[in-house]
């Protein structure tokens, strides 16, 4: 569960993003939409605890991971990128390798395992970064433009990995992905986040 109230981000003495109210419950998929630069990524990062708002309250009851729009992969093989992330997540060498191979298989990118990650295409890097993010034992997954650089089939494969055991909050400019995947939609309009659509 994520609950936000009276959140404000201030820049140059002015409030550039205001979130009067936001909530996301266990197993929900909530989309954030709005123009580029509106603050979607900043809001996601604040949910993760990477940045602090200037005012307001963020309540979270679940561990979280985030997939950024531009993945920063290490200059080593795809498999080693995952194994290092697994080690940092506290997994044993055996369990880290097993889980790394599991996510490569689920995303159908096993052939990429021995390749240098930084030489992959944007879409391939995105899928590797997703596999790396999922090595943490989390309940909430935050996604910044998860459809970027991915064709429809790759998008749907990624979405299928996130069943209702996970709470998902994602930003997107892809209307089709939002309509296909989101239970509810929040829109940033003139610097204010408001719920626009829901089931």
pLDDT tens digits, one per residue of 158-175: 999 999 999 999 999 999
For position 35, what pLDDT does the model report? 93
Question: Which CATH entry fits the domain spanning 1-63+140-199: 3.40.50.300, 2.60.40.420, 3.40.1160.10, 3.40.50.980?
Answer: 3.40.50.300
pLDDT tens, residue by residue, 46-64: 999 999 999 999 998 789 9
Q: What local confidence, expressed as pLDDT, does residue 166 receive?
A: 95
Whole-number percent of the chain with pLDDT over 70: 99
Give the Cα separation of 65 and 157 in Å (integer). Answer: 19
Q: What pLDDT digit, counting tens, does each position of 70-127 carry? A: 888 999 999 999 999 999 999 999 999 999 999 999 999 999 999 999 999 999 999 9
- DSSP, residue by residue, the chain: -EEEEEEEEEETTEEEEEEEEEEE-TT-EEEEE--TTSSHHHHHHHHHTSS--SEEEEEE-S-EEEE-SS----SSBHHHHHHHHHHHTT--HHHHHHHHHHHHHHTT-GGGTTSBGGGS-HHHHHHHHHHHHTTS--SEEEEESTTTT--HHHHHHHHHHS-TTSEEEEE-S-HHHHHHH-SEEEEEETTEEEEEEE-
Please name the residues in contact with 26: beta carbons below 8 A apart, sequence gap of 6 or more: 1, 62, 139, 167
* Mean pLDDT, the chain, whole residue set: 93
Q: Is 155 left (phi over 0), alpha (psi -120 to 50) or beta?
A: alpha
pLDDT digits (tens, 9 = 90+) for 14-51: 999 999 999 999 999 999 999 999 999 999 999 999 99
Write down the pLDDT at residue 147.
86
Q: What is the pLDDT of residue 145?
A: 93
pLDDT digits (tens, 9 = 90+) for 175-192: 999 999 999 999 999 999
Of the pLDDT bands very low, low, confident and very high (cuts 50, 70, 90), residue 65 is: very high
Residue 198's pLDDT band (cuts 50, 70, 90): low
Kindly report, as residue ranges, where domains of CATH 3.40.50.300 are found in the chain: 1-63+140-199
pLDDT at 199 over 60: no
């Amino acid at each position: 569960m994520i609950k936000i109230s009276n959140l404000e981000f201030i820049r140059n003495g002015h409030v550039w993003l205001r979130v009067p109210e936001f909530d996301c419950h266990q197993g929900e998929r909530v989309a954030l939409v709005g123009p580029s630069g509106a603050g979607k990524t900043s809001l996601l990062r604040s949910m993760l605890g990477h940045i602090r708002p200037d005012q307001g309250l963020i309540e979270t009851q679940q561990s979280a991971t985030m997939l950024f729009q531009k993945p920063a992969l290490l200059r080593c093989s795809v498999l080693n990128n995952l194994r290092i992330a697994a080690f940092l997540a506290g997994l044993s060498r055996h369990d880290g390798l097993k889980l790394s191979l599991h996510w490569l298989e689920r995303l159908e990118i096993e052939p990429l395992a021995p390749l240098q990650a930084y030489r992959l295409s944007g879409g391939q890097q995105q899928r590797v970064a997703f596999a790396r993010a999922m090595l943490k034992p989390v309940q909430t997954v935050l996604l910044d433009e998860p459809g970027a650089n991915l064709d429809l089939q790759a998008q749907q494969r990624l979405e299928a990995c996130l069943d209702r055991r996970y709470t998902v909050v994602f930003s997107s400019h892809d209307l089709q992905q939002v309509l296909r995947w989101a239970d509810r939609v929040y829109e940033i309009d003139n610097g204010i986040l408001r719920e626009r659509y829901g089931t």
